[in-house]
Amino acid sequence: MSQNFLSQVNVAREAPSSFRLRFAEPVERISFVVPAIYPASPSGVTFPAWRATAYAPSGRPVSTVGEALTRRFADEPSQTYTLRAPDFEGIQEVEFESDWRGPDGAPFAGFEAILIEQIAVQRRRG
Q: What is the DSSP string of 71-116?
A: EE-S-B--EEEEEEPPTT--EEEEEEEEE-B-TTSSB-SS-S--EE
Q: What is the pLDDT of residues 84-93, one digit of tens each?
A: 988 778 999 9
- Whole-prediction pTM value? 0.81
3 pLDDT more than 60: no
Count the residues in the chain. Answer: 126
For the four alpha carbons of 59, 61, 65 and 69, in that order, the dihedral sign comes to positive
Contact 40, 73 (CB under 8 A): no
| Residue 9 pLDDT exceeds 60 | no
β-pair partners for 117: 3, 33
Angle at 67 between CA 23 and CA 89, to 5 degrees: 30
**Which tens digit of pLDDT belongs to each residue from 45-96?**
777 888 999 999 999 999 999 988 877 777 888 899 999 988 778 999 999 8
Indicate which CATH number applies to the domain containing 119: 2.60.120
**How many independent structural domains does the chain possess?**
1
Q: What pLDDT, on the 0 to 100 scale, is given for residue 46? A: 77
Q: Domain of residue 29: give its range.
A: 3-123
Residue 26 clears pLDDT 70, i.e. is over it: yes
